Amino acid sequence: MKNKILNTLRRFLPFLGVVVAFAIHRLIEDSDEHPDAEEAYYTWILYFFLVATFILGIVSTFIKKLKKSLEYSGAFWGGVGIVVAIIDIVIGKFALFPVLFFPKYDNILAQFFEGYEIILKCIWHSTKLLVTGFLYGSGFGFVTGVLLGFNKKFNYWINPYIKLIGPIPATIWIPISLTIFPTTFGASVFIIALSVWFSVALMTSSAIQAVPKAYFEVSRTFGASSAFQIFRVGIPAAMPSIFLGVFYGIISAFLALMTAEMFGVKYGIGWYISWQKAMLVYSGVYAGIIVIAVYCMLILTLLFKLRDKILNWQKGTLKW
Amino acid sequence: MVTENKENAKGAIHIENLVKTFISNEGDTVTALNGVNLDIPAGSFVSLIGPSGCGKTTLLRQIAGLAEPTSGGVFVDGKKITKPGADRGFAFQQATLFPWLNIRDNISLGLRARHVYKEHKQDVDEFIETVGLKGFEKSYPHELSGGMNQRASLARALVGHPDILLLDEPLGALDAFTRMAMQDEIHRLWEKYKTTMVMVTHDVDEALYLSNYVVVMKARPSKIEQVIKIELPFPRARTQDTFVLYRKKILEILNFAGKIPEPEYYL
pLDDT class of B253 with cuts at 50, 70, 90: confident
**C-alpha to C-alpha distances, A50 to A17, A30, A43, B231, B256, nearest whole angstrom:** 9, 21, 10, 86, 81
What is the arithmetic mean of pLDDT over B6-19?
78
- CB contact (8 A) between residue B84 and residue A220: yes
Indicate the DSSP class of residue B67. S
State percent of chain B over pLDDT 90. Answer: 16
**Residue-level pLDDT at A316:** 45
Residues of A in contact with B160 (CB under 8 A): 222
Residue A76 domain boundaries:
2-100
A149 and A85 share one domain: no
B140 interfacial to chain A (CB closer than 8 Å)? yes
Is the pLDDT at A319 greater than 60? The verdict is no
> What is the mean predicted confidence (pLDDT) over A144-150?
92
* Mean of the per-residue pLDDT values of chain A: 89
**What three-state secondary structure class fits B20?**
strand
Q: Nearest-CA neighbor of B169 among B227, B106, B254, B94?
A: B94
Which of A211, A213, A218, A310 to probe by mutation at the B interface, max B CB count within 10 Å?
A: A218
Task: List the single residue in A218, A222, A313 with the smallest CB-CB distance to B99.
Answer: A313
* Interface subset of B 155-174, CB within 8 angstroms of A: 157, 160
* Residue A305 phi, psi (nearest 5): -60, -45
DSSP helix/strand/coil, B85 = coil
Task: Give yes or no: residues A56 and A88 share one domain.
Answer: yes
Is A318 within a domain? Answer: no
Query: What domain count does chain A have?
Result: 2
Residue A316, in any domain of the structure? no
Query: Is some CB atom of chain A closer than 8 A to the CB atom of B67?
Result: no
**pLDDT band at B2, cuts 50/70/90?**
very low
Query: A100, A120, A137 — which closes off a domain?
Result: A100
Question: Would you call A313 an interface residue with chain B, using a CB distance cutoff of 8 Å?
Answer: yes
Amino acid (1-letter code) at residue B138:
K
In this complex, which of A212, A222, A237 lies closest to B113 when CB atoms are compared?
Answer: A222
> Could you tell me the CATH number of the domain that includes residue A152?
1.10.3720.10
Say whether pLDDT at B151 is over 90.
Answer: no
pLDDT in tens, B89-141: 898 888 889 988 989 999 998 888 888 888 888 889 988 988 888 899 888 88
CB contact under 8 A, B92 and A224: no
Q: Of A100, A126, A153, which residue constitutes the final position of a domain?
A: A100
Same domain, A222 and A206: yes
Separation between Cα atoms, residue A255 and residue A116, nearest integer Å: 24
Per residue in A190-244, pLDDT (tens digit) is: 989 998 999 999 999 999 999 988 899 888 888 888 888 889 999 999 988 888 8
Q: How many CB atoms lie within 10 A of CB B50?
A: 24
Q: How confident is the model at residue B1 (pLDDT cuts 50, 70, 90)?
A: very low
Domain membership of residue A56 (yes or no) is yes
ipTM score for this prediction:
0.82
List of chain B residues whose C-beta atoms are within 8 Å of the C-beta of residue A221: 64, 66, 84, 88-90, 110, 157
Query: In whole numbers, what is the pLDDT of chain B averaged over residues?
Result: 85
Q: Are residues A248 and A154 part of one domain?
A: yes
Residue A315 lies in a domain: no
Could A221 and B88 be called an inter-chain contact, meaning their C-beta atoms sit closer than 8 Å? yes
Q: Tell me, what's the pLDDT at B6?
A: 47
Residue of B nearest to A240 (CA): B100
Q: What is the band of A315 on the pLDDT scale with cuts at 50, 70, 90? A: low
Q: Does B96 lie at the interface with A, CB-CB under 8 angstroms?
A: yes
Q: Is the same domain home to A157 and A186?
A: yes
Quick check: A232 contacting B, CB < 8 Å? Answer: yes
- For residue B237, pLDDT over 70 is answered with yes
Strands (DSSP E) found in B145-218: 164-168, 196-201, 213-218
Q: In what order do the strands lie in the sheet with B29-40?
A: B29-40, B13-23, B71-76, B79-80
Q: For A86-96, what is each residue's pLDDT tens digit? A: 999 999 999 89
> In chain B, whose CA is at the least distance from the CA of A228?
B113
Same domain, A183 and A256: yes
